[in-house]
Chains A and B, each alone.
Chain A
Amino acid sequence: MNKYFIKAQDFETFVTKLVEAKQVIGPVAKKSRFVFEKLKNSKELRLDYDVTVLPPKKEFFPTCQPIVKFEGDKFEGCVNVEEKILFGVHFYDIKALDMTDLLYNENHRDINYMAHREAATIVGSNVQNIAERAFFGTVGVHVKPKGHDAFLTKIDDGYLFETYTDKGEALVSFGTFTKAKKEHESNALDVNNRVMGKCPEVLDYVGYESVANKVRKAFNNTAFWEDCAKDCFSCGSCNIVCPTCYCFDVQDNWNVDQVSGTRTRKWDGCLTEDFAKISLGFGAQENFREKRGDRFRHRIMRKTTYLNAKLGGPACVGCGRCSMSCTSDIADPVNVINKIMEV
């Protein structure tokens, strides 16, 4: 739609006004890391964050979400949809949200996710600091971020603010914006291009189709996968922090009265031991990914191969969250893919 410029000294007032008028979710500091949280004031906003612990998906689908309240035979949905502005989302997370939008919208449409998603305004921001394990510069680079409403790029003396939708355009009234000049635009383009070459980690093979083919060929190399997963705790951290993962588990819990209760869904991950444990009826069970290596392979297949046709690229945006969250430091897709490509 339009391109605006806002001076550095006017930016805080803009955010203050937004926070006063709307529910604004942005990156804030938490101990040594960052998380997306509801902003109480503009000072909390940390657009210089590197990466958040959990992806912004949690704003549309909280990690532990009560979905139904029941009382005897009566039940009622209990998801309250609120309008939110997600402020300061990095481009790789915008790409990932675009993927989860598609995945939650197809087949059995996830009404709870979609309702939140549709009520949200997403404002991107450029990556000012790069996470220590990021590799977004070499994975799925042909897949462009889309689905957001506006994008903010920090340039020398202020910010370029690009709007793409009416929702994005509506934010302009909260600040002192002027029409962007050509040099603001070219500066911003330069800032966003440059960051792509600065990732600490690099996939040696950028053609995602050749990666997918090679990974698929490695499927039956059980020894390789077992070796990758030797130190795996089956903790599922690599799944839970991943912005493109979308699995969950649903359980019912009764209150003390034994009549009323809540149905809750929680983020789940395929690396955990019981994820693929299924009932065969008559009390019998089977686990179709029983070994650590089987589960480790499954995630890599999902991130590099299985979803490519649907998404038009790999289901990994190179945020580096999985690598950071893995206590054994074995989850890094860069290491696994580079190793597979070597053989």
Chain B
Amino acid sequence: MSKPKVGFFDFASCEGCQIELTNYGDAAFVELLNHIDIVEFREAMTETAEHLTIACIEGSFTREADRGRLENIRERSDIVIAYGACASTAGVNALKNHQKDFRKDVYGEDRNMPHLYSNDRAVPISEVIKVDYNVYGCPMDKYEFLDIVSHLVHGKEPVIPNHPVCIECKHNETICRYFEGDHCLGPVARAGCRAPCPADGIPCEACRGFVDNPNEEAMEKVLIKKGKLPEARAKHKSRIFTAFCRSDA
């Protein structure tokens, strides 16, 4: 692939993943710019490009008004990458999906002002347009993003893990949270982050979403039996980051 033309776009998100992009360090980022042409980036430039090799989209789809913009990006782009949890799994935004009164909770008195209007459900970008690759995580891991882009620059298919975080705990020889009397969502969470949370002694909250075929029933059982969570909490536990991934989404 010759020097790819890359654009960055944002939808409903905290823009934390864009910040993660700047965390490579100046020298490394400038080096990356030798290999890609950034042709569109709202935060930094006003131009728009007619054609993009790779469009990188951050954020969930949560306003009907954004549909056209997304469709337009898809039409102009060879490859679409959804990066970060909001874009790839709807992340924490999907927490509102099973709540009736989120508008009141969030906006209170102002909830009926027209510019605050959003859909009842936040969904990943892949629900609106075809997404070729997802970079999971809240925030996404800059090295994984780099790895996926590198593979594409070299004309190779990126490898995105489809096994649980547990395997990376084992690679690190981390003592399992369940051995420490804690709970953990790692058995259903998609690996690729190198399991930093259990390594630091805190449970995995599945910020990277689920593996393709998560065993939700078994997870609930383990959360109750080994994690000692009350039944209701075990049932809802995985909503934090994976409300949209759950079978009851």
A31-B221 contact given A240-B170, A256-B31, CB 8 Å threshold: no
User: Out of A63, A232, A256, A325, which one reaches B215, CB within 8 Å?
Assistant: A232
Contact of A231 among B146, B153, B166, B215 (CB under 8 A): B215
- Inter-subunit contact A328/B176 (CB<8 Å): no
Q: Say yes or no: A33-B188 contact (C-beta < 8 A), given A234-B164, A254-B154.
A: no
Q: Is A30 an interface residue (CB 8 A)?
A: yes
Please pick, from A230, A241, A258, the residue contacting B170 in the complex, using a CB distance under 8 A: A241
Interface status of A189 (Cβ within 8 A of chain B): no
Q: List B contacts of A31 (CB < 8 A).
A: 175, 179-180
The verdict on A236 contacting B166 (CB below 8 Å), with A63-B171, A273-B213, A327-B226 known, is: yes
Interface size class of A (residues with CB under 8 A): 35 or more
Chain B residues closer than 8 Å to A328, beta-carbon distance: 187, 215, 218, 221-222
B221 touching A231, Cβ below 8 Å: yes
CA distance A51 to B175 in the complex (A): 13
Binary contact track A17-38/B, C-beta < 8 Å → 1, others 0: 0000000000000111101000
Q: How far is the CA of A251 from the CA of B147 in the complex (A)?
A: 11
Given known A240-B171, A254-B154, A256-B28, contact A32–B188 (CB-CB < 8 A): no
B130 at the interface (CB under 8 A from A): no
In the complex, chain B residues 148-173 whose Cβ is within 8 Å of any chain A Cβ: 150-151, 153-154, 159, 162-164, 166-167, 169-173
Q: Which of A88-96, A142-150, A264-272, A311-319 contacts B (4 or more CB under 8 A)?
A: A264-272
Interface of chain A residues 203 through 260 with chain B (CB within 8 A): 230-237, 240-241, 251, 253-254, 256-258
**Within the complex, what minimum Cβ distance (angstroms) separates A264 from chain B?**
11
Q: Taking the complex as formed, is A8 at the interface, i.e. its CB lies under 8 A from any CB of chain B?
A: no
Q: Report how far A228 CA is from B85 CA in the complex, Å.
A: 33
- The reply to whether the CB of B107 lies closer than 8 angstroms to some CB of chain A is no
| Contact yes or no, B212 A273, CB < 8 A | yes
Number of residues on chain B facing chain A (CB within 8 A): 44
* A54 is an interface residue with CB less than 8 A from chain B: yes
A34 to chain B, nearest CB (A): 10
* A58 to B175 alpha-carbon distance, docked (Å): 16
Bound together, the chains give a CA A327 to CA B214 distance in angstroms of 14
Q: Nearest residue in B to A33 (C-beta to C-beta)?
A: B175
A234 and B211 contacting across the interface, CB-CB below 8 Å: yes
A266 surroundings in chain B (CB, below 8 A) = 171
Contact of A53 with B by CB under 8 A: yes
Tell me if B104 counts as interface (CB < 8 A to partner A). Answer: no
Q: Please classify the interface of chain A as helix (H, G, I), strand (E, B), loop, or mixed, using the class held by over half of its residues.
A: loop
Q: Please name all residues of chain A whose beta carbon is closer than 8 Å to the beta carbon of B249 when the two chains form the complex.
A: none
Contacts of A63 in B (CB 8 A): 170-173
Q: How far is the CA of A316 from the CA of B135 in the complex (A)?
A: 38
Given A231-B221, A256-B146, decide whether A32 and B175 contact each other with a Cβ distance below 8 A: yes
Q: Which of A64, A236, A258 has the most CB of B within 10 A?
A: A258
Q: Are A237 and B180 in contact (CB under 8 A)?
A: no
Residue on B nearest A32 in the bound complex, by CB: B179
What residue in chain B is nearest A283 (Cβ atoms)?
B157
- Does B150 lie within 8 Å of A254, measured CB to CB? yes
Q: Contact check: which of A33, A53, A251 meets B159 at CB < 8 Å?
A: A251
For B179, list chain A residues within 8 Å (CB).
31-33
Given A258-B154, A328-B221, verify A274-B163 contact (CB < 8 Å): yes
Contact A235 B166 (CB under 8 A): yes
Cβ contact of B187, chosen from A64, A233, A241, cutoff 8 A: A233
Task: Please tell me which one of the listed residues A231, A237, A273, A325 contacts residue B162 in the complex, with CB atoms under 8 A apart.
Answer: A273
Task: Report the Cα distance A145→B176, complex, angstroms.
Answer: 30
Bound state CA distance, A64 and B154, in angstroms? 23
Within 8 A of A (CB), among B182-214: 184, 186-188, 211-214
Per the bound structure, the CA–CA distance linking A269 and B167 in Å amounts to 9
**Interface contact B218-A232, CB-CB below 8 Å:** yes
Chain A positions 159 through 177: 1 when the CB is less than 8 Å from some CB of chain B, otherwise 0: 0000000000000000000
Most buried by B among A35, A251, A253: A253
Q: Which of A30, A235, A267 has the most CB of B within 10 A?
A: A235
Residue of A nearest to B24 (CB): A256
Q: Closest residue to A35 on the B side, CB-wise?
A: B173
> What is the distance, in angstroms, from B136's C-beta to the closest C-beta of chain A?
15
Q: A32-B179, A258-B153, A274-B162 are in contact. Are A267 and B171 (CB under 8 A)?
A: yes
- Nearest 4 A/B pairs, CB to CB: A231-B218, A240-B170, A233-B187, A235-B166
Give residues in A with beta carbon < 8 Å to B.
30-33, 35, 53-54, 58, 63-64, 230-237, 240-241, 251, 253-254, 256-258, 261, 266-267, 269, 272-274, 292, 325, 327-328
